[in-house]
Amino acid sequence: MSERWQPFLTDCVVALRAPTQAWSSRDGDAGGAAIEGFYHGDTRFLRAVQLEYCGPEEVWRSPEPISVSLPDASQAVFGSLLRGVDDAWPDPKVRLDRVREVRDGVVTETLHLHSHLDRALDVRLRLRLTPDFSPLQEVKAGAPARDDWNAQVAGSTARIGWEASWTDVAAAGAAIEVDGESGAVVLTWRVPCAPRSSAVVSWQATMHDPGLVVRAAARPAPWAVEIPEHADPRLRRWVHQALSDLDALRLALPDHPHDEFYAAGAPWFFTLFGRDSLWAARMMLPVDTTVAASTLRVLARMQGRRDDPASAEQPGKILHELRAGHFSMPGEGIVLPPVYYGTVDATPLWVCLLVDAAAAGLPEAQVRELLPHLRDAMEWIIAAVGDDFLDYLDETGHGLSNQGWKDSGDSVQWRDGTLAAGPLALCEVQGYAYEAAVDAAHLLERLGEPGSARLRTWAAALKQRFHDRFWVQTPEGRYPAIALDRDGRGVDTLTSNIGHLLGTGILSRVEEAEVSILLVGPSMSSGFGVRTMSTGAAGYWPLSYHGGSVWVHDSAIIAHGMARAGRAADARSVVAGLLAAAEVFSFRMPELHAGDAATTTTAPAPYPAACRPQAWSAAAAIVCLQIEAGA
């Protein structure tokens, strides 16, 4: 792999407890693939972790892997054989279980040596740790690792540091030394093992980053989910894995440790993302309102108060992303400030989540506390729309050029493959804005608060404008454009964006049926979910990030919208495709997968750089559970 390519993730194993994660190969070692290592926050503290063993003959070997299991999101168990110290019989009698557990800032490994030999065994284990301290954005860009760290060793402990960050390594019973030639900290144990018995050693890395802007969740997961006995076994396994992952993805801000939200996903997005955190909390509402409430509060505290073009902050606007420092994407010309508001959809989605949470049982007192923020959010939406539509344009030249959920630079294309010029008004964002206004009006009215009539009048005008200007006709049919471009023309590619309009109320029942039928048709439905772009578009490619791949959360939102629109059979068809994909990915659904057709392959290809677990991909399991239950 070129050192300047983004790391692939597909074949790696991850154990996590946000904001900490450990990535390795299937033998438990780290260092072979570009992503591998132990991370805390936005820093990779250890780049390589490599285990070896030897017997009396002093030949060092690597354990031979035979198994890997993930009891939950925060644990991984790697099974291997130590053949060089075994006897001559074909059955292996010496095995090693490497149990890794990740907690907030801490990775612990316990090495269980098991012998079925009828003689005593004397083994040495050696662990090489290669420090790094590279920022996550440099890892993502394929930049070379750092090697200017320092280490202080005292007995069975070591402190490895770089600038203000450090790792404390503790390994009872081990000898620790710094190998200057290889650039590693080396832990060595002598492990005697009696006949037909076991022996255990362990070590621990505790990582410290004083610049962290997030912290781990302080409380146990707040949900309890009952899965109907008749549920599809695949759905049962997906929900079980998803809840474990969502538990491990919970974060909070240091000044309000009990207000939790979902980190967007591993490995790149262990932080607060407005859109992602909102969607994940919204999809989880059938089983939990507490994270929805705390997500709303966290984002309300950071709601825009001033006009700042550098960060895209505006009064009433909801945050896009929070980082410890500037976040750059080398090669893409993108440099985002630590607090960034460059999103067009988080603000209406915040309103939609508040209304949905209130309907799901959020106590009225908590709802009322957030009403001033709802009013500010709606004022931002109304002002941003004016007498047209809710659109976006990066004014800095180094922010996100696309500010909807499809935020890659080539996500908004004409049917012939050319890129649309901004400002761009995405179709689904108008649906979110309409739903936010109508539902906010209903909520205000129910609570005896003023302002509902104005919101309904505004929403009705937006709906009419949408009906008049967004619909396009192509050889694939009649459907809403993905967006209006800077000249007000409907960008005519058939995309999954239109599925987000279902159930928002901005379409008529007849229009919803037209949209739903297209989305389950062969150009959009892969059989493993809904493609982001039609196979009939010139820009379609099954491994394009937003131009033909399948995003799990996208398909789940579409299925939910179909169900809300009374298209239950279409919704169940989409869920069936997602379940087929979930089985392929061992029920830990990635961020996205290829849009390969089920008619030509038994399994969709993984998108090799897709994050996993991803909060909204995990939360999609709950949406599918509700649809299957007919709720």
pLDDT band at 1 (very low <50, low <70, confident <90, very high): very low
Give the strand pairing for 215-216 and 250-253. antiparallel
Cβ 249 vs Cβ 273: under 8 Å: no
Tell me whether strands 471-474 and 477-480 are parallel, antiparallel or unpaired. Answer: antiparallel
Q: What is the pLDDT of residue 330?
A: 66
- Convert 325-359 to b/e letters by CB count within 10 Å (16 or more is b): eebbeeeeebebbebbbbbbbbbbbbbbbbbbbbe
Measured between alpha carbons, how far is residue 547 from residues 448, 537, 609 in Å? 45, 9, 15
Do the bridges between strand 121-135 and strand 43-54 make them parallel or antiparallel, or are there none, so unpaired? antiparallel
Sheet of strand 250-253, all strands in order from the earlier edge strand to the far edge: 215-216, 250-253, 256-262
| Contact by Cβ (8 Å): 151, 130 | no
DSSP 8-state class, residue 317: P
In the block, residue with structure tokens 């069975």: 156
| pLDDT at position 145 over 90 | no
Q: Is the pLDDT of residue 381 over 70?
A: yes
Over residues 432-439, the mean pLDDT reads 98
Looking at residue 333, its amino acid is: G
What average pLDDT score do residues 222-231 get? 89
Query: Is pLDDT of 143 > 90?
Result: no
Q: By 3-state DSSP, what share of the chain in percent is helix, strand and coil, each rounded to 5?
A: 30, 30, 45
Rounded distance, CA 64 to CA 587, Å?
26
For the cut 70, the answer to whether the pLDDT of residue 362 exceeds it is yes
Q: Is 265 left (phi over 0), alpha (psi -120 to 50) or beta?
A: left
Q: Dump pLDDT digits (tens) for 155-204.
A: 999 999 999 999 999 999 999 999 988 899 999 999 999 999 999 999 99
- Helical H segments across 273-345, by residue range: 274-283, 290-301
Query: Tokens in use for 180?
Result: 């200057």
Are 162 and 150 in contact, with CB atoms under 8 Å apart? yes
- Give CA–CA dist 412/420, Å, rounded: 6
Q: Is residue 4 scored above 80 in pLDDT?
A: no
* Helices 615-628, 552-564: inter-axial angle, 10-degree rounding: 30
Say what the pLDDT of residue 3 is: 56
pLDDT digits (tens, 9 = 90+) for 499-528: 999 999 999 999 999 999 999 999 999 999
What counts of helices (H) and strands (E) characterise the chain? Answer: 12, 29
- What is the predicted pLDDT for the residue at 384? 97
Q: Which helix (H) or strand (E) holds 346?
A: helix 346-359
Task: Annotate 244-265 with DSSP letters as a single string.
Answer: HHHHHTEEEETTEEEEEEE--B
Rounded Cα–Cα distance for residues 483 and 489 (Å): 8
* Residue range 471-495: mean pLDDT, rounded: 98
Residue carrying structure tokens 């290809």:
605
Domain 13-208, architecture per CATH: Distorted Sandwich (2.70)
Sign of CA dihedral 470, 471, 475, 477: positive
Lowest-confidence segment of 180-184, 427-431, 568-572 by average pLDDT? 180-184
The crossing angle, in degrees rounded to 10, of helices 274-283 and 552-564 is 50
Cα–Cα distance for residue pair 532/529, rounded to 1 Å: 9
324 has a pLDDT exceeding 50: yes
pLDDT at 147 over 90: no
Tell me the CA distances in angstroms from 599 to 182, 328, 535, 583, 595, one per residue in order. Answer: 51, 40, 14, 17, 12
Residue 613 has pLDDT above 60, yes or no: yes
Per-residue pLDDT at 329: 74
Tens digits of per-residue pLDDT, 333-353? 899 999 999 999 999 999 999
- Mean per-residue pLDDT, 446-461: 98
Query: If you classify domain 215-220+229-628 with CATH, what class do you get?
Result: mainly alpha
Radius of gyration for the alpha carbons in the chain, expressed in angstroms and rounded: 26
Q: Can you give the pLDDT at residue 58?
A: 86
Report strand pairing: 157-162 vs 150-154.
Answer: antiparallel
Domain positions in the chain are: 13-208, 215-220+229-628
pTM of the model: 0.96
Rounded Cα distance, 556 and 95, in Å? 43
Task: Tell me the mean pLDDT in the region 241-249.
Answer: 98
Residue 621 backbone dihedrals phi, psi, to 5 degrees: -60, -35
Band (pLDDT 50/70/90 cuts) for residue 2 is: very low
If phi over 0 gives left and psi between -120 and 50 gives alpha, with beta otherwise, what is residue 174?
A: beta
Whether the CB-CB separation of 504 and 431 falls below 8 Å is answered with yes
Share of the chain above pLDDT 70, in %: 99
217-226: average pLDDT: 92
Contact between 316 and 286 under an 8 Å Cβ cutoff? The reply is no
- Alpha helices, H only, 119-232: 136-140
